[in-house]
Amino acid sequence: MSGDFAEATAITAAGPGRFLANVPTGWEQGRGAYGGLVLGLLGRALVASEPERPLRTMMGEIPAPVVAGPAEIHVTTTRRGTKLTSLDARLLQEGETRARATGLLGLARAPDVRFPSMTPPALPADLEALPVVPMAPPLGPTFTQHVTMRCAEGQPLSRAGDAAIVGSVAFRECSSPSYGAPELTGLVDVFWPALLVTESRMRPMATIAFTAEYFGDAFAPGDLAFRSRAVAGHEGYVSEVRELWTLDGHLAALNQQTFCVIR
């Protein structure tokens, strides 16, 4: 088991468009690895396939549990234009596709166009004034032993009227010199679904669709501000919007997830 996110999502080139990975134990959420690690692996393969162009958007699905053990990632090019590349990545175990992602990687086009249309979440100036959420095995998913969460609003099972969360998140260990798209992917998926804030009992849920936009690829490792809100739900499928911000107010990533309520 590796507690280092960079090591846990390491990949090895094994030929054109082919990468090998070893999904470690200790990062599970239920039967398989938590979605942030699985999609982080796919993000690494996308970035490695087009290293000169930053990953701007990734859309992913996890149709089957990705379990601890060997995995292959196959990357194909849909189109490579002058400034924008579209890639498709599939993670295979035992010969079947268990996760896939489409990535758009692009060179800068208009550097003067840079603005957030939102304000960052409000956190205490002294972040350590917020206690670390005591979520770790056996009470929490296995992967939570590798992250630090602080919650300012939106404790799970609090029966609040607003399905929203504000807090901060960081990896306990990550040897990457900076947080790029794979690390942001992992961190944006750490917190519990916002729907659980309104509930009085635990409801097993799973991410089935994931879309993320990245607004930078070299953030200093450490705590990032987090905010999420469940915006719609129907027949057990819930759409949630998530955000990651640097503590000095730079939007790092936007994420929309679809959760299914298992029961």
Residue 217: its pLDDT value, please? 80
C-alpha span between 196 and 198 (Å, rounded): 5
Residue 100: band (very low, low, confident or very high) from pLDDT cuts 50, 70, 90: very high
Q: What is the DSSP letter of 237?
A: E
At 216-258, the pLDDT tens digits run 888 999 999 999 999 999 999 999 999 999 999 999 999 999 9
Residue 172: its pLDDT value, please? 95
Looking at the predicted structure, is the pLDDT value of residue 117 above 80?
A: no
Percent of the chain topping pLDDT 90: 86
Diameter of the chain measured on Cα atoms: 52
Residue 55: its pLDDT value, please? 97
* 3-class secondary-structure state, position 251: strand
Looking at the predicted structure, is the pLDDT value of residue 204 above 80?
A: yes
C-alpha span between 156 and 219 (Å, rounded): 29
Residue 208: its pLDDT value, please? 87
C-alpha span between 171 and 173 (Å, rounded): 5
Contact indicator for 193, 230 with CB cutoff of 8 Å: yes
| 211-218: average pLDDT | 92
Tokens for 203, please give them. 């409801």
At 10-52, the pLDDT tens digits run 999 999 999 999 999 999 998 899 999 999 999 999 999 999 9
Cis peptide before 221 (omega within 30 of 0): no
pTM reported for the whole predicted model: 0.94
Buried b (16+ CB within 10 A) or exposed e, 29-60: beebbbbbbbbbbbbbbbbebbeebbbbbbbb
Percent of the chain topping pLDDT 70: 100
| 190-213: average pLDDT | 92
| 102-111: average pLDDT | 92
Residue 218: its pLDDT value, please? 87
Helix axes 181-188, 35-49, angle to 10 degrees: 160
Residue 28: its pLDDT value, please? 95
